[in-house]
Amino acid sequence: MKQVAAFQIARVIGWVAIATSAGVVLTATFIESIPGPLPDQSIWPTPRLWSYFRTTLWMAALATIIAFAIATPLMIVLANLRPGLKRRILLILIILPLVTMPSIHAYAWLLLATRKDGFAAAFLNAIGWNTPGAQPFQSAVVLAAWLWPIPALVLSVAFRQMGRQGYLLARLDAGGLTAFLRDAHPLMRASLIAAASATFILACTDATIPPLMGVTEVWSVEMLAAAAVASSRVRPIGYLFWQSWPMLLLIAALALAAIPGIRRMTRWGEELESPDIGLSIGGGGGSWLLACVLAVVIALYPLMVFATEFTGARVDAATAMQTALKTFGKHGAATFIVAIITGLCAMAGGLSVIDDHDNHLVVRALSKIAFVTVLITAILPPEIIGTALASTFARISDPAHWNIYDSTPWAWIAAMLSRFAVVTVVVTVLANRRVPDSLLAQAQLEGARGTARSALVRLPFIWRSIAVAAILTACIATSEIGASVLTQPVRFFGGSLAVQVDMQMHYGRQDETTFLAAIMLVPALLAALSAPALARRRTPA
Amino acid sequence: MLIEKLRFSLATVALAFMLGCRESTESPGPDFKNSVVIYCSVDVAFAEPILDEFQRRTGITVHHIFDTEAGKTTGLVNRLSAEKARPRADVWWSSEIFGTIQLAERGILAPYKSPVASDIPDAYRDPAGHWTAIGLRGRVIAYDPKRTKEEDLPKRWCDLTNPKYKGRFQIADPRFGTTRGHMAVLLSRWGQPAMEGFYEALRANDCQLAAGNAKAVLRPTRGLTEFGATDTDDVIVAQARGDSVEMIYPDLDAPGDGPTRKGTLWIPCSVGLVAGGPNTEAGKQLFDYLISKEVEALLFESESRNVPVRPALRKKLRARATNEAVVDYAEAAEMLPLSDQLVREKLLE
């Protein structure tokens, strides 16, 4: 019974966490947006905004295409590897770029491309990387360097579970491409769309890489400027909402398009695969080694760039490290704490959306409301999320005394949950769908119903998937900037390290910044190492 | 039974949350009595040692929040606006002045005439006391002397429209930061028709936008463009980094002006007291410290090299605001909405 009680408490904590984070954001957005655009605001975007919209779309489309190009060879090798050390190593290398702070990718490319000498700079100059007007192209490449693990992971799972067998049989009488298009592709189409949608959405909405790469004519940078205008308006959140509706609509449409693919991924994290029919795509020792070399280069290039940067530094690495730790150490500790609590709350949020048909009506309604709230809030721009939380929490807490807004990082955690809890929540729902019906029926026959059944039967099946998703959520939270600057607490011992790192990257003080950027890779490495280790264990039968 | 347990759990969590939000009736702890909160968009590397020194001397704990560079002061201005109903900051310290004047106009800053400001010239003080300015940074053109001769560069900002500079320069995105204020100053001096013509000519001249002033310096030093409009501190930081970069101080003359030189735009940092902040007295002490001669000297001695606004201090430190123009910052701040509109419609549209 202790397990049932613990589950109940975790679920209630999840509801409260979602209500005080995504719930607050959604309510504030609803209240301020319902009256419509502000009197001097046009609902129809100006030609300039349409032009930014178009630039954003082609930049994101290019990023998606490049991401798929990088992902495809690695996906094939990954899909063909049997569970074991080789597969885990490749998996870690694939996960790492995705959980690395996006600014770090941008900063590494920036350092590389603006070096005074060296092969890389010469090569990039030769291919026209630094040509005026090439910034959206540069941005697309960097976005792809960050996002390619999404198609690699999604498609390798889809290929193992849906397309591999058909492909291998088709290869008996057709070439590789024909076999893929004719037999594997139809089975994987939904997953392909889901991976492309996710990559495209993240490329469209990222507000860290384009500004660092010097792109000014995109939607996310325009939102930064719009936030400045909004701050002087009566309904700032309403202003931002009506300013951003075309992009929100697009994101919602893409998210809907991804749903069938996401549903088919309910076997995510399992080691199940299509039956072995004695055929192989390749992917032996040679291709594994080649894939690993490629993955190492793509995953660890920021570290390599930072390491070589110190050879020409003004100060030595030790001094840079001391300065960086002295100035930013407390922010690192605060960010780490916030990330851990965000991960834990996201886990609780995941449990809070688990639905069981014989739960009490109130419980079922709360689960559904929590799920929808998290989904909707995740597509809102960080400026809306931060403003909604800052204004609400500031209003309810007295600055003259200890209070939740100034003295604790809750508003900041709430911002992180509003943006990223969706990862854990969606994974939980998907994992929940793969609990065998026969087992649930058996549990019901033995008297376990509703919450007890969820705690005793569902949870042992899904907790590893939830934990992996929570680790990823926590890791992503360490690199958030847009909402963090609006919600980090004034009386906590530290603020957001990502905000500090971002500021230094723009300022160009390279030695300490380079060290800080290297530090920011640590949570990414931890997440990349721990997630596959946790996921590889088999679920109890 | 289950529902009862659920109710109990919900009530427990709700109670815990309400306790977190409660307005304590107990006397405030020492941290609240003797502390001050500052929102700061001055670079952390320059600002934090100054704030630490204030804390060491006075024993008042300083809690600070810094802004991101991408949005310049945007993030913290938004935060001040979002918290207007119940402010948490006591002091606002900005790396520029135009946004501060706008905050004052919105009633976010309180009037405070500091005794420490008595030797600061009137041009750098709000007559009503809503803001005080210190530490100037100049708007300059950065170039690599190894590749470009000084005489080949524009001597006035309006010369950027000369076809001979086509495709050869960058300016930072004028929707943000000091470049935004710079455009407002030009508008206040030139008038709308000249400014519209300037933007149209800039577009015709393939003016590239950089994401920030640091980038506008980086590209000329790497041979990726010939020159860039930026701030003095960005050039000084690049020089300290070992880059080959120099700067010139263009004049603010309007297109068609005669030989008269109107001088270079220098933009100060600014300090304001937040209206209704929780620790006004401690806030005033910090305000006084930030606008003091000592802090002006520290800013000048830092890598940022902000030039003091106090004439006597300038003389003492041998600091010089080269070719300094006389600028009415408040007048330029009034033009910001129109300036932003023109930037969007004429330069970016």
pLDDT digit string, tens, across residues A43-55: 888 888 888 999 9
- The pLDDT tens digits for A36-89 are 999 888 888 888 888 899 999 999 999 999 999 999 888 878 777 777 788 888
Report pLDDT for A455. 82
> Average pLDDT, stretch A448-453?
78
Chain B residue with minimal CA distance to A508?
B214
Question: What pLDDT score was predicted for residue B96?
Answer: 92
Burial A47-56 (b: 16+ CB within 10 A, else e): eebeebbebb
Q: Contacts of residue B28 in chain A, CB cutoff 8 Å? A: 400-401
Contact B93, B38 (CB under 8 A): yes
Tokens matching residue A74: 């690695």
Average pLDDT of span A174-202: 82
Residue B13 has pLDDT above 50, yes or no: no
- Indicate yes or no: CB of B74 within 8 angstroms of CB of A46: no
Banded pLDDT at B3 (limits 50, 70, 90)? very low
The answer to whether B47 and B93 are in contact (CB under 8 A) is yes
pTM, entire model: 0.86
What percent of chain A has a predicted confidence (pLDDT) above 90? 32
- On chain A, the residues whose CB falls within 8 A of the CB of B218 are 114, 508
pLDDT at A310 over 70: no
What is the pLDDT at residue A173?
75
Check residue A457 and give its pLDDT.
83
A130 near B CB under 8 A: yes
CB-based contact B86 A394, cutoff 8 Å = yes
The pLDDT-based confidence of A107 (bands split at 50, 70, 90) is confident
> pLDDT tens digit string along B155-212?
999 999 999 999 899 998 898 889 999 999 999 999 999 999 999 999 999 888 887 8
Chain segment A481-525, per-residue pLDDT in tens: 889 989 999 988 888 988 888 777 766 556 777 777 777 778 788
What is the model's pLDDT at position A528? 79
Mean pLDDT, chain B, whole residue set: 87
Is pLDDT of B27 > 60?
A: no
Cβ–Cβ below 8 Å for B68 and A502: yes
- Indicate if ipTM > 0.85: no
- pLDDT score of B216 more than 90: no
Q: Is B167 on the interface with A (CB under 8 A)?
A: yes
Among A177-186, A191-200, B92-101, B116-125, name the one with the lowest average pLDDT.
A177-186
A227 within 8 A of A159, measured Cβ to Cβ: no
3-state secondary structure chain B: CHHHHHHHHHHHHHHHHHHHHCCCCCCCCHHHHCEEEEEECCCHHHHHHHHHHHHHHHCCEEEEEECCCCCCCHHHHHHHHHCCCCCCCCEEEECCCHHHHHHHHCCCEECCCCHHHHHCCHHHECCCCCCEEEEEEEEEEEECCCCCCHHHCCCEHHHHHCHHHCCCEEEECCCCHHHHHHHHHHHHHHCHHHHHHHHHHHHHCCCEEECCHHHHHHHHHCCCCCEEEEEHHHHHHHHHCCCCCEEECCECCCCCCCCCCCCECEEEEEEEEECCCCCHHHHHHHHHHHCCHHHHHHHHHCCCCCECCCHHHHHHHCCCCCCECCCCHHHHHHCHHHHHHHHHHHHHC
Do the chains contact at B209 and A450, CB–CB below 8 Å? no
Over range A310-321, report the average pLDDT: 68
List, as one string, the DSSP characters of A183-201.
IIHHHHHHHHHHHHHHHHH
What secondary structure does DSSP assign to A439-458, as a single string? HHHHHHHTT--HHHHIIIII
pLDDT at B240: 84
CB atoms within 10 A of CB B197: 16
Most confident of B42-46, B47-51, B119-123: B119-123
> Taking 70 as the threshold, does the pLDDT of residue A540 lie above it?
no
A399 to B45: CB separation less than 8 angstroms, yes or no: no
With a CB-CB cutoff of 8 Å, which residues 500-529 of chain A face chain B?
500, 502-510, 512
A-chain residues within 8 Å CB-CB of B220?
none
A447 in contact with B at a CB cutoff of 8 Å?
no
Query: Any CB–CB contact under 8 A between B4 and chain A?
Result: no
Please list every residue in chain A whose beta carbon sits closer than 8 Å to the beta carbon of residue B43. Answer: 503, 507
Bridge-based pairing state of the strands B266-274 and B91-94: antiparallel
Separation between Cα atoms, residue A371 and residue A367, nearest integer Å: 6
Q: Does A12 touch chain B (CB under 8 A)?
A: yes
Going by C-beta distance under 8 Å and a sequence separation of 6 or more, which residues neighbour residue B119? Answer: B293, B310, B312
pLDDT (average), residues A110-135: 80
B175 Cα to chain A: minimum distance (Å): 6
The residue among B79, B80, B93, B217 with the most chain A CBs within 10 A of its CB, best to mutate, is B79
Residue A470 is inside which H or E element, if any? helix A459-477
Q: How confident is the model at residue A281 (pLDDT cuts 50, 70, 90)?
A: low
- The yes-or-no verdict on residue B16 having pLDDT over 50 is no
Residue scoring higher pLDDT (B344 or B195): B195
Residues 88-147 of B with CB under 8 A from A: 88-89, 102, 106
> Could you tell me the residue ranges of all domains in chain A?
2-33+66-134+152-187+279-535
Angle between helices A410-433 and A2-18 (to 10 degrees): 120
Q: With 0-12 CB in 10 A as exposed, 13-18 as middle and 19+ as buried, what is A451?
A: buried
Q: Is the pLDDT of residue B17 over 70?
A: no
Mutation site, A29, A402, A497, interface B, largest B CB count within 10 A:
A402
The whole-angstrom distance between A231's CA and the closest CA on chain B is 5
Residue in A230, A363, A397 nearest the CB of B21: A397
Put simply, the answer to whether B2 touches A228 (Cβ < 8 Å) is no
Q: Which residues 310-349 on chain B approach chain A with CB closer than 8 angstroms?
A: 340, 344-345, 348-349
Confidence of residue A434 (pLDDT cuts 50, 70, 90): confident
Domain A2-33+66-134+152-187+279-535 top-level CATH class: mainly alpha
pLDDT over 70 at A433, yes or no: yes
A263–chain B nearest CA distance, Å: 31
User: Which of A225, A396, A402 is facing B176, going by the closest CB pair?
Assistant: A225
Q: Which of residues 279-308 of A touch B (CB under 8 A)?
A: none
Average pLDDT, chain A: 84
For A480, nearest residue in chain B (alpha carbons): B68
CB contact under 8 A, A231 and B77: yes
pLDDT band at A399 (very low <50, low <70, confident <90, very high): confident
Residues B63, A491: C-beta atoms closer than 8 Å? yes
pLDDT at B225 over 50: yes
Contact B224 A46 (CB under 8 A): no
Who contacts A106 (Cβ-Cβ below 8 Å, separation ≥6)? A142, A208, A209, A212, A213, A505
Interval A8-29: pLDDT, tens = 999 999 999 999 999 999 999 9
* Interface mutation target, options B7, B34, B78, B341, chain A, most CBs of A under 10 Å: B78
Q: How many residues does chain B have?
A: 349
Q: Using alpha carbons, select from B324, B301, B322, B302 the residue that is nearest to residue B121.
A: B324
Residue of B nearest to A401 (CA): B28
Contact with chain A for residue B76, Cβ under 8 A: yes
Q: Is the predicted pLDDT of residue A477 greater than 80, yes or no?
A: yes
Q: Above 60 in pLDDT, residue A539?
A: no
Q: Is the pLDDT of residue B221 over 50?
A: yes
Residues of B in contact with A228 (CB under 8 A): 71, 74, 77-78, 175-176
Burial class (CB within 10 angstroms; exposed 0-12, middle 13-18, buried 19+) of A489: buried
Alpha carbons within 13 angstroms on the beta-carbon side of residue A271 total 15
- Between residues B194 and A273, the one the model is more confident about: B194
Helix then strand count (H, E) for chain A reads 26, 0
pLDDT at A526 over 90: no
Residues on chain B touching A400 (C-beta within 8 angstroms):
28, 32, 278
pLDDT at B20 over 60: no
Beta bridge partners of B141: B229, B248
So what's the pLDDT on residue A325?
79
pLDDT score for A131: 78
